[in-house]
Amino acid sequence: MIMNNDAVLDEVRRVLLENDDFVITAHVNPDSDAVGSCLAMGLSLKKLGTRVNVVLDKFHDKNSIIPGQELIWRDEAAAPAVSVFMALDCATPERVFDPFGLMKLAPVTVCIDHHISHDPFAGHVYLDSCASSTCELIYRLVSPMIELDSDIGSALYAGLLTDTGGFRHSCAGPETMRIASELIKLNIPFTDIYNELLERHSLAETHVMRAALKNLDLPRNGRAAFSFISSEEMADIGAEATDTDGISEYLLNIRGVEVSAFLYERFKGEVKASMRSLTANVSEMAKAFGGGGHKHAAGCTIRAPLTEAYAEMSRAVLSAIETA
Ligand code: AMP
Ligand code: MN
Ligand code: MN
């Protein structure tokens, strides 16, 4: 059943109350909404007295400020027991981080998501593409079931804060602000969460930004901003994938820019693209490359040499600008 209505929420609540051995995961390369929603869900299930493990792909160090890290499964050789498999913040089954292949084994599967490009793939699907974040949906789900505490509040706040770009984006409506206010009442360290997740950057990130700005191109009189970083540049800096976070946003923030695209060469023949826009639908653009996301923030993987991927992506973005 796929609906963002109360009946589906109740159905998912019954799943939470009637089962044990939950495995919770999110999309590969998880952002703070993915980590926050999984850990908030895990901590909530703990409060309900359930066995729960959170299986997460490698994430940026800054997310270690999110409480509930003790729930993360650390054994790479053996899989946790599973009765219910929950995939959070995942638009498609290909995006689900599932190193043990548990989604197929689990008797019950649940998906909770807010991506406009969502392609339903679980037994129980709670989807609301108007929600600010998956954390907002987890709040809706668990707040009538348990007493929220500061740890769960901090984890939820992490997703609300970051997926709205610091409560700026259009997806941050009155309901998002009301929930944030409820979470702040739990005495969460909201200043530290903001600084750690949105402001502070490492030296490696600073060097990646320098390389990205060196490779900056501003075609169409600066209506588009493109940049890239090659695998050689990444190796020279000693940077990791997560050190490229935030560059596409930075490029979009250049005055006059309407769409930005940042390409990072994972290795020869595989390029990750991040697109951001003020108006154009970059989710559609990313879908054309087999990716997806939201109207104003999307991503995809292009299997081609960097120069070719760059040419294809800039062609797609520029033609979207022409027709906008
Ligand atoms: P990113 O550019 O990686 O920060 O991603 C921006 C948005 O697009 C996020 O909501 C991602 O979940 C989504 N996204 C990124 N890459 C993909 C992909 N390959 N397929 C579907 N959605 C994606
Ligand atoms: Mn996400
Ligand atoms: Mn999200």
The rounded mean pLDDT for the chain is 96
pLDDT digits 0-9 by tens, 50-90: 999 999 999 999 999 999 999 999 999 999 999 999 999 99
Looking at the domain that runs over 2-199, which CATH code has it been given?
A: 3.90.1640.10
Q: Where are the beta strands (DSSP E) in 182-248?
A: 224-229
Q: How far is the CA of 185 from the centre of ligand 2 (A)?
A: 25
Q: What is the amino acid identity at position 90?
A: C
pLDDT band at 323 (very low <50, low <70, confident <90, very high): confident
**Residue 113 pLDDT > 90:** yes
**Residue 189 pLDDT > 90:** yes
Intrachain domains 2-199 and 203-323 with the same fold: no
Cα separations in angstroms, 222 against 258, 259, 322: 8, 10, 13
**Which position has the higher pLDDT, 183 or 170?**
183
Tokens of 35: 């980590």
**Residue 252 pLDDT > 60:** yes
Whose C-alpha lies nearest to ligand 1, atom 6? Answer: 298
Measured distance CA(184)–CA(200) in Å, rounded:
21
| Count of CB atoms situated within 10 Å of the CB of 303 | 11
Give the pLDDT confidence score for residue 320 in this predicted structure: 86
The pocket around ligand 1, CB under 6 angstroms, is made up of 27, 91, 95, 248, 274, 291-294, 297-301
> What DSSP line would sit under 54-68, residue for residue?
EE-----GGGGGSS-
pLDDT band at 145 (very low <50, low <70, confident <90, very high): very high
Q: How far is the CA of 35 from the centre of ligand 2 (A)?
A: 8
Q: How far is the CA of 31 from the centre of ligand 1 (A)?
A: 10
Give the pLDDT confidence score for residue 321 in this predicted structure: 85
From 33, 89, 90, 95, the mutation candidate for ligand 1 (largest count of ligand atoms within 8 A of CB) is 95
pLDDT digits 0-9 by tens, 218-246: 999 999 999 999 999 999 999 999 899 99
Mean pLDDT value across residues 92-116: 97
Which ligand sits nearest to residue 264's alpha carbon? 1
Give the pLDDT confidence score for residue 1 in this predicted structure: 36
Which residue in 94, 128, 122, 105 sits closest to 21, CA to CA? 105
Axis crossing angle, helix 150-163 with helix 174-184, rounded to the nearest 10: 150
Q: What is the amino acid identity at position 172?
A: A
Which residue in 160, 227, 229 sits closest to 198, CA to CA? 160
Give the pLDDT confidence score for residue 309 in this predicted structure: 98
pLDDT digits 0-9 by tens, 21-54: 999 999 999 999 999 999 999 999 999 999 999 9
pLDDT band at 117 (very low <50, low <70, confident <90, very high): confident
Give the pLDDT confidence score for residue 2 in this predicted structure: 46
Q: How far is the CA of 89 from the centre of ligand 1 (A)?
A: 10
Is residue 250 within 8 A of residue 213, CB to CB? The reply is no
Whose C-alpha lies nearest to ligand 1, atom 16? Answer: 299
CATH C-level class of 203-323: alpha beta
Give the pLDDT confidence score for residue 247 in this predicted structure: 97
Give the pLDDT confidence score for residue 192 in this predicted structure: 98
Give the pLDDT confidence score for residue 5 in this predicted structure: 82
Give the pLDDT confidence score for residue 172 in this predicted structure: 94
Q: Where are the domains of the chain?
A: 2-199, 203-323
